[in-house]
Amino acid sequence: MVQLVQNVIPLLPPKPGQLIGARLCNFKTGDSTPLGDHNTWISHDLNDATIGRSAEFWIDIQAYASKTGSEKLNQRLSVDRREQVKASIIAAIPTARGRLLKQIAWGESVSSGGENDNDGYWRAVEVYAYGSVPHGRMPDPAPAKPIQPIIGAPPGPGLDVDQWFVTNLSLSGVSLVPGFGGGGFSGPITFQHVGGLDEPDFTGSMALVGMAVGASEGIPGLKNSKIAQKILKFVADNGGLSFGNAPSSTEGICFPNTHNVSRLQSSDFSGDCATIFVSGNAGLGGNGLYLLFFGLPTGFWFWRTTLAAMESGLIGPDIAFRCKGAAVISSLGAGLSGSVGVAFHSMYGRIS
């Protein structure tokens, strides 16, 4: 039997140093979207208690799930509920970013009732705000990233991993690089998930435009440059006018931006993007090494704050802060080039 509880239950009496606390109950079964009452409490009660009373506030978030459904699904639900409430808090109180003291997803591990219990009290997220770090507490350390090869093929089935890989990147376009120039590329990109919770793979269309700087073998001085020759051995380019439109062999690995997401989901790859890459062609062969930032807010490149960051030279940190994650990708393919050389690109665009 499902117990009828309020959507927002004040947590009283308050803990030592606590400004406010509430249990946000009755999330829909199998869903992680906060209710209207939840968002109202966040934007009014929580906002007033933190901004109005302490500039040094800290926030705890603890998420739960009822017993209904599998343990694995319920753990995922509590993670998603935690992240949704966290996003609502940051949207209502921007200064809360970076002031989250502890973030816990309990799943069904502490829930009461039988295996089919669907009590709205456990379909919930608890939020506590403190005026300062409570005695004996300290902020959770940033989660350590597992040691993995930077670039490599997806591991075999059955391994205990939760990782996204880039398995296809086939760009076509034109880049004019007579020393300094630019161009544009577009084509499909595929992100493949391995291990962990079930996630559908994501295949989208990526379009890029931007600047490029490079050199071809015909430019005076390059032929005798030891550094250039070493680079050419690793990747060659499109110095001059070069085109690409061919299948590729791609290997890449993705990393979440833990300031914004605890783990990557298929929905995190769409949106605006930015990339820095070195590319090359030698005859009909080519290679590219990319650092791709994905999951930027849609329309990011047209924001006034983005233009201001570009003018001030702070666009790099802004991208790194706002993206959902980054990927390191090596893509080997075929193209058409009239020369041998290297080119370095800085481009922006969108994955949709």
Amino acid at 127: V
Q: What is the pTM of this model?
A: 0.47
- How far is residue 293's CA from residue 319's CA, in Å, rounded to a whole number? 7
Instruction: Specify the pLDDT at position 315.
Output: 87
What angle, 0 to 180 degrees and rounded to 10, lies between the N-to-C axes of helices 304-312 and 315-322? 130
- Across the chain, mean pLDDT equals 77
Higher pLDDT, 179 or 29: 29
Q: Tell me: pLDDT of 220 over 80.
A: no
- How far is residue 213's CA from residue 180's CA, in Å, rounded to a whole number? 4
Instruction: Specify the pLDDT at position 263.
Output: 82
Does residue 27 contact residue 126 with C-beta atoms inside 8 Å? no
| Structure confidence at residue 340 as a pLDDT band (50, 70, 90) | very low
Q: What is the mean pLDDT of residues 70-93?
A: 93
**Per-residue pLDDT reduced to its tens digit, 304-336:** 888 888 888 888 888 988 899 998 888 764 333
- How far is residue 65's CA from residue 79's CA, in Å, rounded to a whole number? 9
Rg (the chain; Cα; Å): 25
Does residue 273 contact residue 292 with C-beta atoms inside 8 Å? yes
As beta bridge partners, residue 24 has: 8, 125
Does residue 179 contact residue 239 with C-beta atoms inside 8 Å? no
**Per-residue pLDDT reduced to its tens digit, 241-269:** 333 333 446 788 899 988 888 888 888 99
Instruction: Specify the pLDDT at position 334.
Output: 38
Structural fold of domain 8-130 = 60s Ribosomal Protein L30; Chain: A; (3.30.1330)
Place of tokens 């603890």: 62
Does residue 295 contact residue 189 with C-beta atoms inside 8 Å? no
DSSP state of 197: S
Task: Give the three-state DSSP class for 65.
Answer: coil
- Joined together, the tokens standing for residue 10 give 């004040």
Q: Can you give the residue ranges of every domain in the chain?
A: 8-130, 162-351
User: With helix as H, strand as E and coil as C, how does 211-246 read?
Assistant: EEEEEECCCCCCCCCHHHHHHHHHCCCCCEEEEEEE
- How far is residue 328's CA from residue 321's CA, in Å, rounded to a whole number? 17
Which segment, 28-42, 186-200, 214-228, is predicted with the most confidence on average? 28-42
